[in-house]
Amino acid sequence: MSFQPVLPFGGLQGWMYLTRTYDAQLETFSAGARIQRDVAYFRETIGSVTSAEALVSDRRLREVALGAFGLQDDMPNVYFVQRVLGDGTSSDDALANKLADTRYRQFSAAFGLGPGGLPQTKDQNAMAAIADRYLMRAFEEEVGVQDDTMRIALYARRELADLAGGSESENAKWFTVLGQPPLRSLFQTALGLPESFGQADLDRQVDVFRDRIRAVTGAETISQFADGDVLDRLITLYQARAQIDAFSATTSPAATALALLSGAV
């Protein structure tokens, strides 16, 4: 039986436990026989891949490649994945550049199998990094089976820190947040915005996110999350709001108010 992440609590208490035991749990998870086989196969085989078709036609390679970018739900969509990889990212007309979810652009660019791209499959360091991403993402997915808020928080802790340290403009960083469902979900919940907010104009969404995050942290930038303390503050707020939302969904308003006043939530 494969290792199951240990999450004895939910909410903030559970998040603190998970972050405290993360390294040990990830190491144990990564030592599992199946995941070790998958990673070893990817490392040994990916260097021979020279086309999008070759990558997607190998189910084991496709599973690791997609899983590394959180796109494992597209495993059955072979032609779609081949098109994303085969189009590359250099053209405005490339499929990955037309999709709202920016993870597809990251995925396509990481392998460089499109026109004008520089194939990365023979770069051992680049492919090793993808294998490592797969391990972390696979662990996050297992965590999400038990508690999806924990999965989203782990994703944000890693991806938001990387995004914050990038050289893109602040506008581009905010649009990346909007284009990655886990990051969008974290911000919407942490900032008290309803699901319907996602239907608003994108520029309007960015403006609201900026205004609300400024009220929380004193700054409106994504770059501020390169500071681990600021990032932890956002994730703590997310976990607290998610916990309250979950409690409220199963409890009457009066009982929720009483629980909040008594410190039960």
Residue 227: strand, helix, or coil: coil
Residue 151 is predicted with a pLDDT of 96
Q: What is the pLDDT of residue 265?
A: 44
Given a contact cutoff of 8 angstroms between Cβ atoms, the answer to whether 61 and 40 are in contact is no
User: Domain 11-135 maps to which CATH number in 3.90.1150.10, 1.10.3700.10, 3.30.360.10, 1.10.10.60?
Assistant: 1.10.3700.10
Degrees, nearest 5: CA angle 130-4-134: 5
- CB neighbour list of residue 188: distance below 8 Å, 6 or more residues apart: 194, 195, 197, 198
> Tens place of pLDDT for every residue, the chain, 265 residues?
478 899 998 889 999 999 999 999 999 999 999 999 999 999 999 999 999 999 999 999 999 999 999 999 999 999 999 999 999 999 999 999 999 899 999 999 999 999 987 899 999 999 999 999 999 999 999 999 999 999 999 999 999 999 999 999 999 999 999 999 999 999 999 999 988 888 889 899 999 999 999 999 999 999 999 999 999 999 999 999 998 887 776 655 666 555 555 544 4
Greatest Cα pair distance in the chain: 63
Rounded-to-integer distance, Cα 24 and Cα 240, Å: 25
Taken in order 117, 103, 99, 72, is the CA torsion positive or negative? positive
Q: What is the residue type of 227?
A: D
Domains of the chain by residue range: 11-135, 168-262
Q: What is the pTM of this model?
A: 0.85
- pLDDT, residue 261, reads 56
pLDDT at 255: 60
What residue spans of 179-225 are helical by DSSP H?
Answer: 181-190, 202-217
9 neighbors 21 (Cβ within 8 angstroms): no
Predicted confidence at residue 205, as pLDDT, reads 92
